[in-house]
Amino acid sequence: MDIQEQTSTTLVMESAFSDVYTLAIPISLISLYTGASFSLGSMFGHIFTSLVLAVVAGVGTGYLWSILLTKVPTLLKTRFSTPAFVFIVYGLVELLNFSGPIAVLFFSITLGNVTLLRPRLLSSFLPTHHIELTSVEKDFFSEMVFLLRTFFFVYVGMSIVLNNAYLIGLGAAITVLLFLVRIPVVLASADTKAPLFDMSFMSIMIPKGLGAAVLATLPAQRGLPSGSTIQTITFAVIIFTTIFCTVLFFLLEKRKLLGFYRLFFGFHRPLDAAAAAMPPTEPTSAAGRP
C-alpha cells in the first residue's frame, strides 16, 4: 500500500484518541438521560483527566519497562514478557477508570522511541539502542488482533435484528452521510501537500469498531425506551461502514476512485507517495527563433 508514513501515523493517532471521546461523552449523556448526576464541567473534566492521566501512565510505564529491559537482559529472551506487561498496564489503567488504549499507545510510542525521548534524570538508566519486539511477540500480537476481529464480527452479526428494514436503511443512509462528511474533514485537516491517494485513503477509513458496538448496548442495558432501536441502527452502521470501506479500498487500490476524489482535493496534488518523492522537473527552455 503506497501511502506516506505521516498518513499512517495520523490514522493510528486518530483511532486511538477517538476512544476517549466515543466512550466518555456517550456514557455521560446516558447518565444525564437516566437521571444520574451530570454537568458539562464533570463531562469535560472526565475526558481531560482520562486523556492526560492515560498519557502519563503510558509514558511512565514505557520508561519503566525500557529500564527493566536494560537491567534484566533475560527479559529480552522471553517470549511474552512485553505483551504480558502491556496487559498489566491496560488492566491497571482501566481499573482506575482511565483510557487503557491511550495508555498502551503511549507506552508503545515511548518504548519505540526511547533513544529520542530521553529525560535528563533518566538518561543514565535508559538504553541507548532502539527497542523492538521479537518475531514471536509480533506474531502473537497479530494473532490476537485476528481473533478479536473474528469474534467481534460474530458478536455483531448475532446481535443485529433484521426485522426492521427502516432501521437498517437508516443505518445505510447514515453510513453514506459519514463518508460524504469525511471528505471536507480530511481536506481541512490533512497536509496541503499530501498526495491524492493518501487523501482518498483517509477519506474512506471510517469503519466503526468494537467501541461503537459496546456503547450501542448500553442504552438497552440502562432501560432506555429506545435502546433496541439505537442498538440496531448502530450495528447497521458498523456493518455498512465495514463493507463500504472494504469495497472502496479495493477500488481505490485499483486507482478507480482517484478521479472522483480529485474533484474535491484538487488537480495539483501528486498521485501517490512515489510521485511526491520525485524531484520537480525543470521546464525546458524554448528553442530560439531562426
Residue 221 one-letter amino acid? Q
Q: How far apart are CA 251 and CA 158, in angstroms?
A: 29
d(CA 157, CA 100): 26
Contact 63, 122 (CB under 8 A): yes
Most confidently modeled range among 51-65, 172-186, 228-242: 172-186
Q: Give pTM, 2 decimals.
A: 0.65
Q: At what angle do helices 196-204 and 227-253 cross, to 10 degrees?
A: 160
Distances from the Cα of 152 to the Cα of 32, 148, 211, 214, angstroms: 29, 6, 10, 10
Give the pLDDT of residue 256. Answer: 84
Burial class (CB in 10 A: 0-12, 13-18, 19+), 190: middle
Please state which of the ranges 13-22, 127-136, 151-160, 189-198 shows the lowest mean pLDDT: 127-136
Cell of 120: 535528563
pLDDT digit string (tens) for 171-183? Answer: 999 999 999 999 9
